[in-house]
């Protein structure tokens, strides 16, 4: 029998489960490398890094942090464009919000399978736990992921393996099934105990989460599609949905209002693309206007911009209006009174 | 070589760096311009894993973060 060192690619999300799954493979002498797919919807890092008032959050990518603790390479791959079809046309539908979890898992394992074939690796490892997630981590959906991804029995789930049929690496003796685990359910105490035993530092028990599972984010994405009359998005769209307050005072336009300095700075990067507003003589937000920047809408947008700045109690506030990447005009406006800021405008 | 990764959020600066540095020769330097403070952790972490060397990190008066990397072998 060929006795070369077997190679596994681990889907490393940055969460605890995939960290442990990778470690269990390393413990068996497998050569392990990590792979991490960036869909554009990953909660990872983004808003935490931007908002300077979120000092309690570690400003780091958790998948990279996992790889460093494991001492393995990490391949970070941009799948933003290919992932659109998963979001827009999930064969298995959505979860509670716009989360296509089962299609997503099959997509990611499928991409890992392509990588595996390209690089001559032997099998794929995930941190999935039987019964932990309602859509993609069930006894009846595990085979769906294996089949639709094309990974078939080269997909090993070390945390629940003892509860599942033996995979090719187990049958061939590349992996010792007896040294894999039989975890199931949503109770994460065993994983937390194992992490402690290994001395792992991890961000949160269920890392690598996705904005599509977030009710508020899904609402904003649906609003975006409704305003366009089409279910489509680009990278900037989905980034901007994570940032700032989103108000739609009229069907023809939306405002994105920076909540603090870090967000204002991030929004500055979009001044070339959208009309943008800011108070010139008072501290306050940078505001992007998406949609029809006609004079009526700009009047209201200026009043709202003044409302969210420190000049809100003044009789008049000077607000600058920048055209996308071009001219800037200034106008004096009355800040919108608090009572006029309609609750239904907030997305 | 210079890479403008300003206004990109984690992990895009790392993905862009990995794409560019993969086409560079060992010893060449790459100067990356970022605005995401997460890059201060992520790019050096990725370089450690891949065997590249961060030779300089600085923050410009504008707030932009500049990271200079020497490609490993």
pLDDT tens, chain A, 347 aa long: 467 899 999 999 999 999 999 999 999 999 999 999 999 998 765 555 566 555 555 678 889 999 999 999 999 999 999 999 999 999 999 998 999 999 999 999 999 999 999 999 999 999 999 998 777 788 889 999 999 999 999 999 999 999 999 999 999 999 999 999 999 998 899 999 999 999 999 876 444 478 998 899 999 999 999 999 999 999 999 999 989 999 999 999 999 999 998 899 889 989 999 999 999 999 999 999 999 999 999 999 999 999 999 999 999 999 999 999 788 999 999 999 999 999 999 99
A76–B contact, CB cutoff 8 A: yes
Distance CA A270, CA A98 (A): 26
Residue A135 pLDDT: 73
Mean pLDDT calculated for residue range B43-55: 96
Query: Least CA distance to B63: which residue of chain A?
Result: A265
| CA-closest candidate to residue A148, choices A131, A162, A136, A133 | A136
Please tell me the pTM assigned to this model.
0.90
CB contact under 8 A, B12 and A38: yes
Strands A328-333 and A317-322: antiparallel
Which of A42, A45, A78, A241 is the best substitution to test chain B (most B C-beta atoms within 10 A)? A45
CB contact under 8 A, B9 and A45: yes
Of A72, A78, A270, which is closest to B15 when you measure between CB atoms? A78
CB contact under 8 A, B35 and A269: yes
Distance CA A225, CA A146 (A): 32
Chain A residues in contact with B45 by the CB 8 A cut-off are: 60-61, 64-65, 67-68
CB contact under 8 A, A265 and B35: yes
Of B9, B18, B49, which is closest to A49 when you measure between CB atoms? B9
Structure-block tokens of residue A207: 């890392």
Residue B38 pLDDT: 87
User: Which residues, including other chains, have CB under 8 Å from residue B63's CB and lie 6 or more apart?
Assistant: A265, B35
Out of B6, B8, B10, B68, the active site residue is B10
Distance CA A148, CA A157 (A): 16
| CA-closest candidate to residue A176, choices A27, A20, A3 | A27
Distance CA B46, CA A67 (A): 9
Residue A169 pLDDT: 98
User: Which residues, including other chains, have CB under 8 Å from residue A223's CB and lie 6 or more apart?
Assistant: A246, A248, A254, A347
A312–B contact, CB cutoff 8 A: no
Q: What is the CB neighbour count within 10 angstroms for residue A181?
A: 19
Query: Least CA distance to B45: which residue of chain A?
Result: A64
CB contact under 8 A, B41 and A68: no
CB contact under 8 A, A266 and B48: no
Distance CA B20, CA A327 (A): 35
DSSP B49: H
Which of A35, A39, A49 is the best substitution to test chain B (most B C-beta atoms within 10 A)? A49
Chain A residues in contact with B51 by the CB 8 A cut-off are: none
CB contact under 8 A, B15 and A76: yes
Sheet holding B29-34, edge to edge: B2-5, B29-34, B65-70, B53-59
CB contact under 8 A, A49 and B37: yes
Residue A208 pLDDT: 44
Distance CA A19, CA B50 (A): 19
- What is the separation, in whole angstroms, between the first and last Cα of chain B? 17
Examine the residue annotation and report whether B10 is marked as an active-site residue of this protein.
yes
CB contact under 8 A, B41 and A59: yes
Tell me how far the alpha carbon of residue B25 is from its chain's centroid. 16
DSSP B35: -
Q: Is residue A284 within 8 Å of residue A259, measured between CB atoms? A: no
A68–B contact, CB cutoff 8 A: yes
Residue A231 pLDDT: 94
The full 3-state SS of A21-69, as one line of letters, equals HHHHHHHCCCEEEEEEEECCCECCCHHHHHCCCCCCCCCCCHHHHHHHH
- Strand stretches in chain A, DSSP E: 7-11, 31-38, 74-78, 123-125, 155-156, 245-250, 253-257, 275-279, 287-291, 317-322, 328-333
What percent of chain B is modeled with pLDDT above 90? 82
Here the ipTM equals: 0.92
CB contact under 8 A, A76 and B18: yes
Half-sphere exposure of A86 (CA within 13 A, CB side): 24
CATH for B2-70 is: 3.30.110.40
Q: Is residue A76 within 8 Å of residue A45, measured between CB atoms? A: no
- Find residue A36's DSSP bridge partners: A76
CATH for A7-210 is: 3.40.50.620
Q: How far is A162 from chain B (nearest CA, A)?
A: 32
Which of B49, B51, B62, B65 is the best substitution to test chain A (most A C-beta atoms within 10 A)? B49
Domain boundaries, chain A: 7-210, 243-345
Quick one: which H or E segment has residue A173?
none
Q: Is residue B53 within 8 Å of residue B47, measured between CB atoms? A: yes
Tell me how far the alpha carbon of residue B9 is from its chain's centroid. 13
Chain A residues in contact with B52 by the CB 8 A cut-off are: none
CA distances from A308 to A254, A281, A317, A319 (A): 15, 13, 11, 12
Q: How far is A70 from chain B (nearest CA, A)?
A: 10
Chain B residues in contact with A48 by the CB 8 A cut-off are: 38
Distance CA A323, CA A335 (A): 21
């Amino acid at each position: 029998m060929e006795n070369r060192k077997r190679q596994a690619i681990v889907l490393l999300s940055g969460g605890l489960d995939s960290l442990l799954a990778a470690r269990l493979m390393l413990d068996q002498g497998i050569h392990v490398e990590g792979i991490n797919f960036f869909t554009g919807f990953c909660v990872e890092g983004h808003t935490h890094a931007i908002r300077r008032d979120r000092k309690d959050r570690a400003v780091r990518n958790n998948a990279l942090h996992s790889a460093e603790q494991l001492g393995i390479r990490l391949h970070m791959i941009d799948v933003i464009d290919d992932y659109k079809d998963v979001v827009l046309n999930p064969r298995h539908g959505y979860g509670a919000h716009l989360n296509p979890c089962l299609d997503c898992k099959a997509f990611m394992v499928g991409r890992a399978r392509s990588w595996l074939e390209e690089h001559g690796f032997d099998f794929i490892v995930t941190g999935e736990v039987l019964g932990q997630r309602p859509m993609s981590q069930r006894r009846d959906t595990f085979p769906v992921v294996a089949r639709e991804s094309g990974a078939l029995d080269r997909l090993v789930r070390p945390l629940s393996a003892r509860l599942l049929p033996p995979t090719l690496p187990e049958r061939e003796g590349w992996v010792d099934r007896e040294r894999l685990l039989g975890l199931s359910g949503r109770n994460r105490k065993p994983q937390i105990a194992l992490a402690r035993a290994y001395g792992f530092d991890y961000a949160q028990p269920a890392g690598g989460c996705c904005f599509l599972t977030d009710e508020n984010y899904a609402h904003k994405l649906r609003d975006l599609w409704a305003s366009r009359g089409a279910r489509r998005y680009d990278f900037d769209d989905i980034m901007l949905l994570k940032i700032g307050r989103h108000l739609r005072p009229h069907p023809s336009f939306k405002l994105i209002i920076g909540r603090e300095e870090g967000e204002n700075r991030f929004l500055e990067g979009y001044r070339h693309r959208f009309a943008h507003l800011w108070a010139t003589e008072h501290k306050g937000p940078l505001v992007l206007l998406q949609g029809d920047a006609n004079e009526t809408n700009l009047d209201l947008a200026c009043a709202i911009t003044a409302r969210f700045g420190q000049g809100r109690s003044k009789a008049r506030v000077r607000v600058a209006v920048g055209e996308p990447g071009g001219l800037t005009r200034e106008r004096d406006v009355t800040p919108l009174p608090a009572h006029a800021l309609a609750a239904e405008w907030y997305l | 070589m210079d890479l403008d990764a300003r206004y990109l959020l984690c992990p895009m600066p790392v993905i862009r760096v990995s794409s560019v540095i993969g086409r560079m020769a060992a010893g060449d330097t790459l100067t990356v311009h970022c605005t995401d403070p997460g890059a201060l952790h992520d790019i050096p972490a990725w370089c450690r894993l891949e065997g590249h060397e961060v030779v300089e990190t600085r923050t410009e008066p504008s707030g932009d973060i500049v990271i200079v990397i020497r490609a490993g072998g």
